[in-house]
A and B are shown apart, each in its own frame.
Chain A
Amino acid sequence: MSSLPPYAGPLERTWFYTYRTICAAIFVFLIVPVFVIIPLSFNELPYFTFTPEMLSLDPAGYSTKWYVEFFTEQSWRDAVSNSFFIAIFATLLSTSVGTVAALGLSSPAMPFRSTVMALLISPMIVPLIISAAGMFFFYTRIGLASTHLGVILAHAALGTPFVVITVTATLVGFDQSLTRASASLGANPTRTFFKVIVPLILPGVISGGLFAFITSFDEVVVVLFVGSVEQRTIPWKMFSGIREEIRPTILAVATLLVLISMLLLTMLELLRRRNERLRGMSPG
């Protein structure tokens, strides 16, 4: 249905344009909620809607004061540093353990492969509220609740499935004879790993890492249960902000988060193209 064939009748013609309109409406539904908050975050008044001044494009209706509030208020700054601290360490942990496991899982010699895989993927499938409740119970028992370490471990557990999936996907096209060639040329397994395997699977590792990062950075249910005020992250602040006192500062934060996700999306797309080039496929 990429374009109308010349022999199309009037009915087909009408349907073609109706269908295109329906699709356009669905794309609008998908994208408007992401972009509508950007102009709203520059509202002069503390409302979540467009004021008449904003609609008439009067500069007095716009202001950056919510951004100023975000950057100056201590509790938001704490939330930002907590979010990055937790997400970075959770990413490092899940990426390293996940990549090594993906290497093992991709080996044809791995016994009970699909069962093990199903287990390793399960943190992605089990509803977050159940993981959060279980972690709350168990981490309280062993003294990890309300600590940064506890939240990092919990987030790393939630992020590993993404690393395992992306890295195993990269390894599907991996030529095993390269490691044998490296070994026959005298490299030990460690050297082979860092000089041959890592450069080739790096795009998969990085995109898995990005998934793990965004999982932790966006996550709120587990932090709410396992963490305490000391571990308050950006999503936590947003969640409690929406529930308690709703201020446009949240819209300013949301706008910044949209920019971050645009950045991540661009990075992932570049990685995907690089990976396809490495494997000799044409970039899409």
Chain B
Amino acid sequence: MAKITFDGIEVEVEDGTTILQAARKIGGNVVPPAMCFYTPLKGSGGKCRVCLVKVSQGSAKDPRPMPKLVASCITPVQDGMVVENTTNEDVLNARKSIVEMLLINHPLDCPICDQAGECSLQDLSYEHGVSATRYEEERRSFNKVDLGPYIQLHMTRCILCYRCVYTADQITPERVHGVLGRGDAAEIGTYIENVVANDFSGNVIDVCPVGALTDKTWRFKNRVWFTKPLDAHRDCPTCSGKVTLWARGETVLRVTARKDQYNEVEEFICNTCRFDKKEVSDWTIEGPRHIERSSVISANHYELPVINVPIVPNLPVSTKKNLPQE
């Protein structure tokens, strides 16, 4: 076991745990954001650099601080480590810089993007970004790539987190796509036109933090914050069958895996569940899905009576009373 101090909070974790996982054990606002790291995927992380933190004391044995900011998602903890995240100005400035970098070539087409409302980049830029840009050049754009009947690749929105590459490597039996090219011309692609088609290929949509990979059976059907997330399951021969249905009225618009507060899937699901079972009668509904983190979805929460929903967090009590009663 290793004891570390994260933003002044002490936490004890197993040896070999990463700083990010230790911070998640504490939870709340001190947790560094993560765009490329994905717990279920081995080898992911270290690429987007938004989780940079300052290690002001390396360990109890060697108390020297680490010279550079380190990526918390891949740096293992050491006993006696002292880490600064939200308490260190350098870290916050670095994070702001990274968000700026991620956004300079992002099309910012949120109004027509299916991921809007559950997009990690959107959340991140609200929290750490600046409203104006200093970038005046033309933004990078790519041609659309056809990946088959289910998955739409919109490369222009991609932040090259490599999650879909790791997913294809580790979850599906074959990988036909990868990263081509170099630098800011790097892109996800199949090189020779190819269909990403196997029983678990749909999971690349779930792991994508932005709107680069979207579900063709759901594209442009609705905005995510108008839909109701429901936990449901079915007896599936290939996967666990535990999913979240995104329904509007009696219509199931979309099926995804269940994601936790860090947008990480609990169990990967198969393509049959995801793309073919779009009737309420296909599923046993368990109840509403609790959505904790993702921005606007929780603003429309129906688990609680509307009166208690903190739409504006610091709303005075008197105004709250004037809200329409359900």
Are A and B physically bound partners? no
> Could you list which residues of chain A lie within 8 angstroms of chain B, going by C-beta atoms?
none
